[in-house]
Amino acid sequence: MRLSKGKNADDIEALTVFAKWVLDIGDGNISTVDTGKTSGLEFEISIPPEFCNVEQSNSTVSDVNDLIIEKIAGDSTSYFSIDKAEEFGGTDSEFNTAFPVEHLNSLKIPGVPHHELKLKDGVVVMLMRNLNQTIGLCNGTRMMFYVAISRVTSPEGLKIFVDDENGCSTNITKNVVYKEVLYNVPVV
């Protein structure tokens, strides 16, 4: 963790409190919220309002991701989801009438990736669904240069956008901590 230096006693105190909060998040020692939705290693936590403003519900995770993609130099590549039914009992014509492809591709359902995924070289990607745990492809796997809360240098630089299962902004999110990852890290 690399925090900026405080300019006065108040700044230093605020940075000390922030540093403790960041370390508690990483260690899994943050106070949890009992929503009855998580189990095992997952804990739901409440993000302080100064980092997660639920009143500004127009800024969703997708909006922020799109903005970041635009700001990174280079050409983007689009990847599209499959828009065919594998076991549809009718003909292609009947499928297109019952489920217009344009409509399916336009759906934006919380918890389900959008039809189009835009990526550029250097864009951070984090796996959100278990794909193959035996080879390490599980929730939270850093696919490239994952930046977490611990990389923020000041409280002012941290903004967290969280959508609940209904697509509404919230300050409640899962804090998944894999402490076993750090078991064999050499102490310098």
Q: What is the pLDDT of residues 71-89, one digit of tens each?
A: 888 998 888 887 666 666 7
Length of the chain as a residue count: 188
Among 154, 149, 181, 156, CA closest to 26? 149
The whole-angstrom separation of Cα 178 and Cα 170 is 24
Q: Please name the residue ranges forming H helices in 54-119.
A: 61-71, 92-98, 101-106
The whole-angstrom separation of Cα 30 and Cα 20 is 10
Distance between start and end Cα atoms, the chain: 15
Report which of residues 8 and 1 the model is more confident about: 8
Residue type for position 91:
T
Report which of residues 105 and 163 the model is more confident about: 105
The whole-angstrom separation of Cα 180 and Cα 188 is 18
Reply yes or no on whether the pLDDT at 125 is more than 60. Answer: yes
Asked if residue 106 lies in contact with residue 115, where contact means CB atoms within 8 angstroms, the answer is: yes
Report which of residues 93 and 45 the model is more confident about: 45
pLDDT of residue 144: 47
Is the overall model pTM greater than 0.95, yes or no?
A: no
Asked if residue 40 lies in contact with residue 25, where contact means CB atoms within 8 angstroms, the answer is: no
The whole-angstrom separation of Cα 169 and Cα 161 is 7
Under the banding of pLDDT at 50, 70 and 90, the label for residue 141 is low
Reply yes or no on whether the pLDDT at 22 is more than 70. Answer: yes
pLDDT of residue 56: 60
Asked if residue 108 lies in contact with residue 62, where contact means CB atoms within 8 angstroms, the answer is: yes
Under the banding of pLDDT at 50, 70 and 90, the label for residue 146 is very low
pLDDT of residue 64: 76
Reply yes or no on whether the pLDDT at 123 is more than 50. Answer: yes
Under the banding of pLDDT at 50, 70 and 90, the label for residue 140 is low
Mean pLDDT of 36-64: 70
Report which of residues 161 and 47 the model is more confident about: 47
Per DSSP, 45 falls in state: E
Residues 6+ apart with CB under 8 A from 87: none
Specify the DSSP element, H or E, that contains 10: helix 9-27
